[in-house]
Structure 1
C-alpha cells in the first residue's frame, strides 16, 4: 500500500492573520469636509464700483479746481484786434492774473493796478465785451492829451509827467485826440498802444474811464506765439 502523506496541520499565514476590515482598524478622527464657497463676484463688482466712483470724484474735483482757478486766479485770454499793436497782436495768448481782483473782493477793497500795467477790462456800457489796454491814469490824477503827448498831473508830479517816456511806451505812434480830465475815485484811465486815429477804443473816447469792478485782471505774460513769449 502506498504511503499516504501526512496532512500538514501547520496553520497557514493567512489563517493567523486577522481579516483586514474597517471594524478592526484603529479608531481615527476624520475631519469633515471643509466647504469653501465659490467666491461671489458681488465683492468684485463692489470694488469696481468704488474704483469708478473714486475716479469720477477725482475727475469732478479736478474739473472744479480748474474752473475755480480759471475764475478767480489765472485765466488765458486771446487777443483779437490791433489796438495794442505793436506790443500785442491778433491771436496772441495772454495769461491774466485775476487774484488781485479776487483778493479785493474778499477784503471789501478796490483793486487799482499800477500805471503802465496791461490789463483786461470789461466795457462798462456792454459788460460782455472785453478789452486789453494799458493803464495810464490813476484815481485823482489829471490826464491831459495834447499835440500827441499824454501828460499826467498828480501830487508827486504837479508839473506833469510825460507817460510816453518809459520803455513800454516808447516808439509808439503819437496819440490822437485832445483830452483834459480828472480820473474819478475808484476808476482808471486806459489807452491802447496803437494810438493812431481809430487804432483803439479806450478812455480817450467811447470806452471812458474804467471802474475798479470792471477790471478783470492784469496780463502777466504772453505765452503764444511760443517764439515771442514775454513778461508784460
Structure 2
C-alpha cells in the first residue's frame, strides 16, 4: 500500500494575511457613499450658484417657449438674491454682485404676490422707463418697438386657435417673435407705466394670453422687483409633448421636434 503525505509549507513562502470579508464590504460601502455625497454636493452647488433647470407649464411665452420645454437658467447673469436660492430663504434683500437686466432678456422670477410660484417673462421696461401699450403696439419712452407681421399660424399649444406671428425688433438689433390674437383684447391698451428704480416691466410674448406687468400683482405680475429675479433663461435643452412624465418611461422619447439645445432669444 502506498502512503502519501502533504509537504510542509516552505519557510521561504510568505503567508497571506487573512482579511475578514466584512471589512472589505464596509470599505466598499463607505467609498460609494463618499462618491455619492460628493456628487450630490457638486450638483447642489451648481444648482444653487450657477444653473438651474425649469419646465415651462404655460403658453404665455409662445412661440419662443412652449409647454413641455426643459429650460436652463443662468443664475450668475444678474448676481444672486434670496430668490435665486432654493426655497427662497428669509435673507436680507438686494443682490450680491448684482447686474441690471437688459431690455429683451427672458427672465425667470418669483411672482411678487406669491414667491412660491416661478414665472417666466420678457423684460420690456428698465428702471426709469415709461412703457405703454396702444392697440397692441408697445412703446418705451415714447418710441414704438417696430413690429413686422409674418404670417397667420396655429397657436403652438392650441392649434385650433389662429394667431398672427409678429416680429419685434429693438434698436440694438435684438429680435423675437410674438403672437397677436387680434385687436381689442384685454391688455391691448394701457396707461403709461413709469418703472421705478430697482424694478422692471415684464411682458409675455403670447400677448393676448399672458398675465404680466400690464395687470396688478394680485392678478398678474405688476412691476417686478429686481430682488425677485432667479436668473436669465439661456437654453431649451429638450421639450416633451404634453402628457410625458418622468414616472412613465415609455413617454421619455416623446420629444417635440426642433426643440433640442435651442437658445432662448
- Report the TM-score range of the alignment, normalised by the length of the smaller protein: 0.7 to 0.9
Equivalent residues of 2:137, 2:144 under 8 A apart: no
Q: CA deviation at 1:102?
A: 4.0
The separation in 2 between residues aligned to 1:176 and 1:61, in whole angstroms, is 52
Cα 1:89–1:108 shift into 2, 3 Å: closer
How far 1:208 sits from its partner (Å)? Answer: 0.5
Distance 1:148 1:83 in 2: 15
Specify every segment of 5 or more residues in structure 2 that has no aligned partner in the other structure, as ranges.
1-10, 83-93, 148-167, 240-256
Task: Decide which structure has the larger Cα Rg and report it.
Answer: 1
- The reply to whether residue 209 of structure 1 matches residue 219 of structure 2 is no
The structure whose residues are more often strand, as a share, is: 2
Counterpart residue number, 1:231:
263
Q: Indicate whether 1:60 and 2:37 are aligned.
A: yes
Distance 1:183 1:136 in 2: 10
Q: Summarize deviations over 1:42-84 as a string: whole Å, max 9, x none.
A: 4x65454334322211110101111121122111111111111
In structure 1, how many angstroms separate the alpha carbons of the residues matched to 2:16 and 2:259? Answer: 66
The offset of 1:92, in angstroms, is 1.3
Q: Which runs of 5+ in 1 are unaligned?
A: 1-32, 154-158
Give me the CA root mean square deviation. 2.8
How many residues are matched? 193
The 1:109–1:184 alpha-carbon spacing in structure 2 relative to 1, beyond 3 Å, is: farther
Change (3 A) 1:40 1:98: same
User: CA separation in 2, counterparts of 1:69 and 1:51?
Assistant: 27
1:92 aligns with 2:75: no
CA spacing shift, 1:46–1:163, aligned 2, 3 Å:
farther
In 1, Cα distance between equivalents of 2:46 and 2:235 = 17
Paired position in structure 2 for 1:40:
18
Whichever structure has more helix as a proportion of its residues is 1
Decide whether aligned partners of structure 1 residues 227 and 169 sit closer, same or farther in structure 2, where only a CA change above 3 A counts: closer
C-alpha deviations, 1:11-49, integer Å up to 9, x for none? xxxxxxxxxxxxxxxxxxxxxx7897663324x654543
Q: CA deviation at 1:139?
A: 0.7
Q: 1:174-213: CA deviations, max 9, x gaps?
A: 76231301111111111001111xx111101031011111
**1:160 corresponds to 2:143:** yes
Point out 4+ residue stretches in structure 1 off by more than 6 angstroms.
Answer: 33-38, 104-107
Residue 145 of structure 1 deviates from its aligned partner by 1.4
Aligned to 2:179: 172
**Hey, what does 2:196 align to over in structure 1?**
184
User: What is the TM-score with the length of structure 2 in the denominator?
Assistant: 0.64
TM-score by length of 1: 0.72
